[in-house]
Amino acid sequence: MSEIEDYGVTVEEYLDGLAAGVDVLELKRLEARGIPTNLALEVMAITPKVVDGTATPEEIVRGLMILTPSLRQQIE
């Protein structure tokens, strides 16, 4: 069973984020993996496109580069 991580996000912050179109918990999870906020938001925007099949090959590659620490250094 997976451990539950505490990212210090209140219910109010989470709901405010959702109202603004940002999943704050997902953002905090990506930031905890060392991904800078701007790149985390970018990969969060690419993910739904990958899921529904509308992402371009360039977006897929960029998303993979963001998620891979050794490749992320090339785009930071």
Contact present, 6 and 25 (Cβ < 8 Å): no
53: domain range? 11-75
> Would residue 61 count as lying in a domain?
yes
Distances in Å between the Cα of 59 and the Cα atoms of 45, 53, 68 are 10, 11, 14
> Would residue 28 count as lying in a domain?
yes
Number of domains observed in the structure of the chain: 1
pTM: 0.84
Q: What is the pLDDT along the chain (76 residues), one digit of tens a residue?
A: 678 888 999 999 999 999 999 999 999 999 999 999 999 999 999 999 999 999 999 999 999 999 999 999 888 7
> Would residue 18 count as lying in a domain?
yes
> Would residue 52 count as lying in a domain?
yes
Question: In terms of residues, how long is the chain?
Answer: 76
